[in-house]
Amino acid sequence: LKLEEVLTSNSIPALRAAVVNFIVGGCIRRIQEEEKGQAKKFSFLIHTESGKAAHAWQEELVDAIKTQLTEAAQKNDLVLHALVETSYEELQPSIQLKGFHCPSLPVVVESVKKALADDWVMISRVNSERQVEELLDETGQLRLRTPLNIFIGGQILDRGVTIANLIGFYYGRSPNVFQQDTVLQHSRMFGFRPVADLTVTRFYTEPTIHKAMQRMHESDIALRDAIEKDAEQPVVFIQKAANGAVVPCSPNKIALSKTTTLKPFKRLLPIGFQTDYKSYLRPVTENIDEILRAFAPADSFDEPFLITKEQANWLLSEIQPTLKMETEEGYDFDWEATKSALNYLANLGSDHNGGKVWCLVRTGRKLSRTVAVGSHAKYADAPDSTKTEGEIRKHYAIHNPMLILIRQNGDVEQGWRGCPFYWPVISAQKNISPAIFAEQTLN
């Protein structure tokens, strides 16, 4: 990455979008407030790595983005217009969703140019207790000196420092261990915000941290729902034993960032992958085709059919090496934990169908590998349809889980490698108590 290319480089799309979204979002809110005769100041927090080299580099990048945005505004550069338009299209739906007025794009573009020309954007580094004290106002909050304030800091900003009107947070750290209280405190997503501010508020992080937060949230929701519906209803805490069996687990041993919450109709599926090359993939897909035809009654995939949990695990094991997870981008999928969870769900089945799994096969699908820009995701995450497969699993998966196998065509035009493949989706059944399945426990 060259610093002179920060506005166009493919190396930092998220950081660039975060800064531009903050400026555009802040300008939109300023326009809205000015219509009421008010003018708020807004803040954006960039939580950097603790290492000095990484910290300094992240600061240098943000400085370069601001400088080049200002230069682009002075030159009336089309690059600035394109960046502002992309941010505007990303923010507009959430503003309109809540019924607030969204200024027109030309008005926002001119406001952004004015903000850059008048030096509304101030970058403040917060690296020590002394710097924190110098930046505090009379109420004990970080002072907002200009309309748009960007604070860059490391561990000193972990907690205890209040920041007003925070509409953007970039979590530029990659912790090795996620503790729920620490991660949630760092994220600063909680606490009261005016709804109008909330419509332009954005949180940026990489997929691993997002997944950890998602798991924490799901665990909290499951526990809260169980307590609200029936305080006596048990929430099951389970883990995978060394022999592969699923056994009870003490709640205080669970690392919530490494859990899967099993609740009625919960879906488990790999997201963020590329398929293997055709030479390996094709024979695997054809072999699965043949096995599934043997499993299916009357050689028909029209309706779901029951298979054993061992057969379901075999199918997952065959599929596993054909899907290459984008681990360097933070996308991963624990196949062994998923198979253990499926075994647990299958064993909950009724006496007659204990150990069985519903299998639903669908073919000829043409889902693209990536999704549209601005959808808060990079890779497709819904090979199954809520209206079709979703209704089928709600009808059949009552006492037993379901393994949905979506045979994608895998066309090059959709971003794949030109060969059909199976995309598995595991669905929990309706009749289960909430369970927190620990993929990893604390020593």
How many percent of the chain have pLDDT more than 70? 83
Q: pLDDT tens digits for 304-324?
A: 999 999 999 999 999 999 999
Please check whether residue 234 is in contact with residue 288, taking contact to mean a CB–CB distance below 8 angstroms.
no
Choose the most confident range, by mean pLDDT, from 118-127, 264-273, 337-346, 434-443.
Answer: 264-273
pLDDT of residue 405: 98
pLDDT of residue 316: 98
Kindly report which listed range (66-80, 156-170, 380-394) carries the lowest average pLDDT score.
Answer: 156-170
Could you tell me how far CA 69 lies from the centroid of its own chain? Answer: 28
Dmax (CA) for the chain in angstroms is 77
pLDDT of residue 30: 95
pLDDT of residue 373: 62
pLDDT of residue 253: 57
Spans of all domains in the chain: 3-205, 217-438
Give the closest residue to 314 by CA, choosing from 290, 332, 288, 333: 288
pLDDT of residue 263: 87
What does the pLDDT average to over 105-128? 92
Amino acid making up residue 12: I
Name which residue leads in pLDDT, 254 or 300. 300
Q: What are the residues whose beta carbons fall under 8 Å from the beta carbon of 301, sequence distance 6 or more?
A: 292, 360, 361, 362, 363
This prediction's pTM: 0.67
Residue 371 pLDDT more than 80? yes
Q: pLDDT tens digits for 191-204?
A: 678 999 999 999 98
Q: pLDDT tens digits for 232-245?
A: 555 667 665 666 66
Band (pLDDT 50/70/90 cuts) for residue 190 is low
Band (pLDDT 50/70/90 cuts) for residue 298 is confident
Average pLDDT value over all residues in the chain: 86
Distance CA 88, CA 109 (A): 9
Distance CA 367, CA 426 (A): 18
Q: Return the structure tokens found at 41.
A: 């100041």
Q: Which is it for strands 356-365 and 402-408: parallel, antiparallel or unpaired? A: parallel
pLDDT of residue 174: 66
Band (pLDDT 50/70/90 cuts) for residue 417 is very high
> Helices 78-97 and 105-117, interaxial angle, to 10°?
120
Return the SS3 of 206: coil
Q: What are the residues whose beta carbons fall under 8 Å from the beta carbon of 106, sequence distance 6 or more?
A: none
Cα angle for residues 31, 32, 33 (degrees, 5° grid): 90
Question: How many other C-beta atoms lie within 10 A of the C-beta of residue 372?
Answer: 7
Using the structure block, give the residue that is written with the tokens 């360097």: 328
Query: DSSP label at 312?
Result: H
Cα angle for residues 300, 301, 303 (degrees, 5° grid): 105
Please check whether residue 403 is in contact with residue 269, taking contact to mean a CB–CB distance below 8 angstroms.
no
What does the pLDDT average to over 77-106? 95
Name which residue leads in pLDDT, 85 or 124. 85
What does the pLDDT average to over 364-375? 84
Residue 375 pLDDT more than 90? no
Q: What are the residues whose beta carbons fall under 8 Å from the beta carbon of 9, sequence distance 6 or more?
A: 1, 2, 16
H or E element: which one contains 90?
helix 78-97
Q: pLDDT tens digits for 126-169?
A: 776 667 777 888 777 888 999 999 988 877 765 567 888 999 99
Q: What are the residues whose beta carbons fall under 8 Å from the beta carbon of 223, sequence distance 6 or more?
A: 235, 434, 436
Distance CA 352, CA 128 (A): 65
* Torsion angles phi and psi, residue 112, rounded to 5: -65, -45
Band (pLDDT 50/70/90 cuts) for residue 354 is confident
Give the closest residue to 172 by CA, choosing from 329, 11, 49: 49
Distance CA 153, CA 206 (A): 18
Helix spans in 236-351 (H): 278-295, 309-319, 335-347
Q: What are the residues whose beta carbons fall under 8 Å from the beta carbon of 383, sequence distance 6 or more?
A: 269, 365, 367, 406, 408, 423, 425
Residue 362 pLDDT more than 80? yes
Give the closest residue to 7 by CA, choosing from 73, 106, 57: 73
Amino acid making up residue 415: G
pLDDT of residue 234: 59
Distance CA 147, CA 145 (A): 7
Kindly report which listed range (160-164, 213-217, 223-227) carries the lowest average pLDDT score.
Answer: 223-227
What does the pLDDT average to over 54-81? 91
Residue 349 pLDDT more than 80? no
pLDDT of residue 240: 59
Distance CA 424, CA 388 (A): 16
Band (pLDDT 50/70/90 cuts) for residue 248 is low
310 dihedral zone (left: phi>0; alpha: psi -120 to 50; beta): alpha
Burial class (CB in 10 A: 0-12, 13-18, 19+), 126: buried
